[in-house]
Structure 1
Amino acid sequence: MKKVLTILAVLVLLALIVVGVGNWLLTNDQPGGPGPGKPAAPPSPEAQNPPGCADVEVLAAPGTWESKADDDPLAPRANPRSLLLNVTRPLTEEFPKEKVKVWTLPYTAQFRNINARGEMTYDDSRNQGFKRLENELREMHKACPATSFVLTGFSQGAVITGDMAGEIGNNRGPVPADRILGVALIADGRQELDKGTLVGAKGIRGTGAEIALNPVSGLIQTIVPGATMRGPRPDGFGELNDRVNNFCAPADLICDAPGDLGNALVRAKDLVAANAVHSQYATNGAVVDGKTVPEYIVGWARDLINERTGK
C-alpha cells in the first residue's frame, strides 16, 4: 500500500508539471540571431508555383494557453506573450510576404485537469491542433506545389509538430518529405534522445513526459482526465530525422522527465522548480550557447529560407 501511495504521489507531481505547459508569462520579444541551417533537398524541377504563392511557409504551433481556436493565423493575438511570437515576428518583419508566409496554428490549446475541469482535454486539444496543421499543409501544397515548409512548435505545440513530422517523414503526411526544410521542437513532450538532433543543451538524461508517464497513463486520468500519455512515436521521424532539431532545458520535466519514477521522488524539488525552467526559453541563454532558443531558431530558419530562395 505504501508503494502505491508513493507512486501516486510521484504521478501527481509529474502531472502537475504537464498541466503547467505554457501557463507562464514570458518576456518580450528577443532580437533574431544567426544559426546554422539543415537544408533539405531542393524542390523538384517539375513542381512550379502559380503567381501569388510564397517560396516558403513557416508554420508555428504555440503551447498550452498560448493560442485560441478563433485566433488569426496570420496575425495572432490570443496571447501577446506567446513564446513563438519571438520567432514569427522577426521572420514576418524580415521577409516580404510574397516570399515567406508565416502562419501560426489557431487551436484551443487547453489541458483539462482537476483544477480546470471546464477546459478541453489535452487529447481533444492536441487532436484539433494536429488536424488544423494538417489541413493548412495540405491546402497550401495543393495550391502551391513548389512551396517549401519550416515547422516549429513549443510544448503542446511541439508534440503536435513532432507528430506531424513523424507522419510526413514516414510518408503518411499531407506533403512530401522533400518539401520540409526543417523542424524545430521546443520542449517536446515525446522527445527521445536518439530521435532528431538535440541542439545545445548538455546534461539532458531524461525523456518526454508522455513517454515517462506512458506505463501509468491510466492512473493519472483522475488528475488529468483525457490526457493520454502515448509513449514514443512508433516510427520516429523517418526521412526527416536529420532535419528535426530538439531544444530542451535541463530540468524541464516536459522534455527531460526521469524514466525511473523512483528518481522523481528523489528529485522532488527539481520537479516543483521545473515550471520556472519551462517558462524561460525566451530568456534562458544556457540552452544554446550565446543566444536564446527563439534567437537560434530565427537564425536557423533565416538560413534555410535564404538557401531555398537563392540568397
Structure 2
Amino acid sequence: MRRTPAVLLLAALLLPLAACAPTIDPSEARESLSEVTQDPAEPEAAEEYDAEAHPEPIVEPLECLPYLVVTARGTGEPSRGQLLDPVARAISEARPDEVLRLDLDYAADTDVKEGGTVGARTLVDTLNVQAESCPDQRFVLLGYSQGALVVGDVLAAPDVRLVGQRVGELTPEAAERVLAVVLYGDPRFVGGEPTGVGDFDPELNGILPRPPGSLDAYAERLRDYCVAGDFVCQASLDLDEEPHVEYYSNGMQQDGAAFAITRLDPPSRATEDRSGERDPARPAR
C-alpha cells in the first residue's frame, strides 16, 4: 500500500478505529450493480431530480463549521455502524468543534440507479449550497461500495456518469472546496489509475469501471482503496464476500482517515490546547 510518512504516523495514532462488517450477498450485490448498465431505461427519479427542469436545491443550508465531512454508505449498510463512521469520527476528533458530519440521505439499496440518482442530486446540491452559504467551509467526501460510485460520479462529468447524469454539476467554487476524497471497494475502480491504494491487481478494474482520467482533477486529493479479490473493485469471478469487507479490519480505515487529516489546515492554537498535543498533520496541496 502506498503511504506517505505523515499518513503512516497518523494511521498509527488512529489504530483504535473499529466497525462491524455487514453480511453481504455477493451474487445479489453483483447483480444490482450490473443492472446499472444492463438496463438502459432511466430510473423514475431521473425526471424528478433533473437539475435543468428543477433547478431549486433540494436541501437547506447546514451549519458553517470549517469542515463538512460527508459519508456515503454501501449497499445495505445502516446509517450507524457503517464502515465510514470511524473514519469520519477520527477526522472530527482531529479538529474538535470544527467538523460537521453528514451521512448522505439516499436509499443505498439494490436499486442502484434509482437510489444513486437521488444520492447524486443530494450531494451536488449539498456541496453547492454549502459553498455559497459558507464561504470558508471545505469538504471531505467518504464513500464505500455503492457510496463510492455515487461520490465518484458526482465528481465526474455528467457524460461519464452511470448515476445522476441529469442532476447537475458542482460549481467551480464547490469543486475547489473538496479537500479530500476517500473511497473503498469502488465499483468504478480503474486498476491503472495512480490514485489506487492496496494490493489489488492493476490489470483488473471494478464491475463498472469509469473511463480512465475521469477524476484527474481530484487526483492529488483522492485515495481509492481496493484489495485483491474484492469482487466489486476487481470484478473478481470468485464471489467471496470476505475481501469486500476487509476494509473494516485491514487498517485502511485508519489510513484513509490519516490521509484526510493531512489535507486539513494545521490545527489552531485552541485545537492544540483542547487535544493536549500538537497534531502532526499538515495540508498537502
TM-score, length basis structure 2: 0.64
1:209 equivalenced with 2:220 (yes/no): no
**Residue 182 of structure 1 aligns to which amino acid in structure 2?**
A
Residue 18 of structure 1 pairs with residue 8 of structure 2:
no
Asked whether 1:173 is paired with 2:155, we answer no
**What's the CA shift for 1:124?**
0.2
Tell me which residue corresponds to 1:193: 191
Partner of 2:116: 126
Structure 2: how far apart are the matches of 1:94 and 1:308? 8
Contact residue 61 and residue 105 of structure 1 kept, 8 A = yes
Alignment deviations for residues 163-200 of structure 1 (CA, whole Å, 9 cap, x no partner): 122249x9942453321212111111111123351123
In structure 2, the partner of 1:248 is 226
Per-residue CA deviations over 1:42-82 (Å, capped at 9, x if unaligned) read xxxxxxxxxx6222211111111124xxxxxxxxxx3x331
- Is the aligned partner of 1:90 residue 2:68? no
Task: Report how far residue 155 of structure 1 moved.
Answer: 0.2
CA distance in 2, matches of 1:155, 1:89: 19
Unpaired runs of 5+ residues, structure 2, are: 1-24, 34-62, 161-167, 270-281
SS in 2 for 1:134: helix
With structure 1 as the length reference, what TM-score do the two structures score?
0.59
Partner of 1:297: 256
Question: How far 1:251 sits from its partner (Å)?
Answer: 0.3
The separation in 1 between residues aligned to 2:121 and 2:267, in whole angstroms, is: 27
What secondary structure, in the 3-state scheme, does the structure 2 residue paired with 1:279 have?
A: helix
Distance in 2, matches of 1:142 and 1:247, equals: 31
If asked which structure has higher relative contact order (CA below 8 Å, sep 6+), I would say: 1
Partner AA of 1:186 in structure 2: Y
Count of matched residue positions in the alignment of Structure 1 and Structure 2: 208
Higher gyration radius (CA) = 1
Q: Which residue of 2 aligns with 1:237?
A: 215
Does the 8 Å CA contact 2:70/2:102 hold for their aligned counterparts? yes
Question: How far apart, CA to CA, are the structure 2 residues paired with 1:16 and 1:66?
Answer: 14
Give the 3 Å change call, closer, same or farther, for CA 66–17 of structure 1 in structure 2: closer
Among the aligned pairs, what percent are the same residue? Answer: 25
Q: Report the CA distance shift for 1:308/1:201 in structure 2 as closer, same or farther (over 3 A).
A: farther
Q: Helix, strand or coil: the match of 1:272?
A: coil
Match of 2:99? 100
Instruction: Report the RMSD for the aligned CA atoms in angstroms.
Output: 2.9
* Corresponding residue number in structure 2 for 1:64: 75
Mapped contact 1:196–1:245 kept (Cα < 8 A): no
Q: 1:184 to 1:309 in 2, by over 3 A?
A: farther
- Secondary structure of 2:87's partner? helix
SS in 2 for 1:64: coil
Instruction: Tell me the distance in 2 between the aligned counterparts of 1:309 and 1:147.
Output: 15
Paired residue type of 1:18: R
Q: SS of 1:209's equivalent?
A: coil
